[in-house]
């Protein structure tokens, strides 16, 4: 099995404009797709990523204006970590102070330096200072210099009662290997490294189950090259782990199946194909509302009911 790591992470946010301001303007990610939640078309689905929206860089949100805040707990991703070039962590610390981003002092984990911070919905994120990635391509559409721009995911950190059952899925189905332990953390990585190649499991009892809401990760998607690889993963889940996935769903930009892993986190398997340039040119990704064919007949009504997203507005600072 040639697992390649994290495809995307999807989270729940508050107002769409605030979400766009934070991720596109403050973190400098590219809005690579403006569409709706295919299962709930009255809600936006905003995709942020690198220039092309490459698998391993895609952070997506369902923004709901009046969402109740989530509660961190067992059975969820408690932290989503993004990669930045090692030399840029001082730039980011300064930027967070200047922009009023809620953040914590630098921490060390598995020998790496991390800058933990929160988005305006209280979602827990961190930047990991990674050496040797300065020359990876970066999206520089925001006011962030190329040498500091975010280079996709570093890792997700799952808070689980037990590491082993979930670890078995990561290693057997998605091609990860356990590469280290530190305190209550177990680190898994896919061969070859790169964006989205790490999952950390924080094994800790005594927490209440997580409650989904604003600032919560809704699900984590892992990469399959194509339908055949996805199918092979589905078979392995059934045969070796007794887990059944949903039927395959066409998400326009990838094709997906979903399942609840043994630690209760919602996992998805998403194909690398066809990608975000399937319905608009790469040069103008994210600029207009894109809808799947089955929703085009409702475009006029949806355009009226969805809140307008304004690029001209100044960045709104996170509430404290
Ligand atoms: Zn997804």
pLDDT for 63-83, tens place per residue? 999 999 999 999 999 999 999
CA–centroid distance, 264 to ligand 1, in Å, is: 16
* Å from CA of 62 to ligand 1 middle: 10
Closest of 228, 169, 156, 185 to residue 6, by C-alpha: 156
In CATH, 6-305 is 2.60.40.640: no
At 209-246, the pLDDT tens digits run: 999 999 999 999 999 999 999 999 999 999 999 999 99
Say what the pTM is.
Answer: 0.96
Q: How far apart are CA 110 and CA 74, in angstroms?
A: 22
Q: Where are the domains of the chain?
A: 6-305
Residue 85 CA to ligand 1 center (angstroms) comes to 27
- Per-residue pLDDT band for 318 (boundaries 50, 70, 90) equals very low
Tell me, in angstroms, the distance from the centre of ligand 1 to residue 111's CA: 31
Please determine, for residue 7, whether its predicted confidence score (pLDDT) is greater than 60: yes
Distance 75 CA to ligand 1 centre (A): 17
Q: Does position 9 have pLDDT exceeding 50, yes or no?
A: yes
- Provide the token pair at 109: 């984990």
């Amino acid at each position: 099995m040639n697992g390649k790591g994290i495809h995307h992470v999807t989270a729940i946010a508050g107002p769409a404009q605030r979400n766009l301001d934070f991720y596109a303007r403050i973190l400098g990610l590219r809005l690579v797709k403006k569409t709706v939640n295919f299962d709930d078309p009255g809600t936006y689905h905003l995709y942020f990523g690198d220039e092309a929206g490459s698998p391993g860089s895609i952070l997506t949100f369902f923004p709901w204006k009046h969402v109740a805040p989530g509660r961190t707990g067992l059975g969820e991703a408690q932290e989503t970590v993004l990669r930045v070039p090692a030399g840029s962590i001082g730039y980011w610390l300064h930027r967070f102070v200047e922009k009023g981003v809620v953040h914590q002092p630098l921490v060390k984990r598995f020998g790496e330096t991390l800058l933990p911070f929160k988005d305006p919905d209280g979602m827990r994120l961190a930047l990991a200072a990674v050496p040797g990635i300065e020359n990876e391509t970066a999206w520089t559409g925001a006011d962030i210099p190329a040498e500091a721009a975010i280079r996709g995911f570093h890792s997700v950190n799952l808070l689980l009662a037990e590491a082993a059952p979930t670890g078995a899925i990561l290693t057997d189905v998605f091609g990860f290997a356990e590469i280290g332990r530190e305190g209550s953390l177990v680190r898994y990585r896919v061969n070859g490294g790169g964006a989205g190649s790490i999952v950390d499991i924080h094994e800790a009892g005594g927490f209440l189950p997580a409650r989904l809401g604003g600032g919560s990760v809704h699900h984590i998607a892992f990469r399959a090259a194509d339908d055949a690889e996805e199918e092979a993963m589905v078979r392995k889940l059934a045969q070796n782990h007794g887990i059944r996935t949903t039927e395959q769903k066409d998400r326009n930009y990838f094709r997906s199946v979903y399942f609840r892993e043994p630690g209760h986190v919602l996992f998805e398997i998403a194909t690398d194909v066809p990608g975000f340039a399937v319905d608009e040119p790469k040069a103008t990704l994210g600029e207009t509302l894109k809808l799947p064919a089955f929703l085009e007949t409702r475009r006029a009504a949806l355009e009226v009911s969805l809140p307008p997203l304004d690029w001209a507005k100044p960045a709104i600072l996170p509430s404290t």
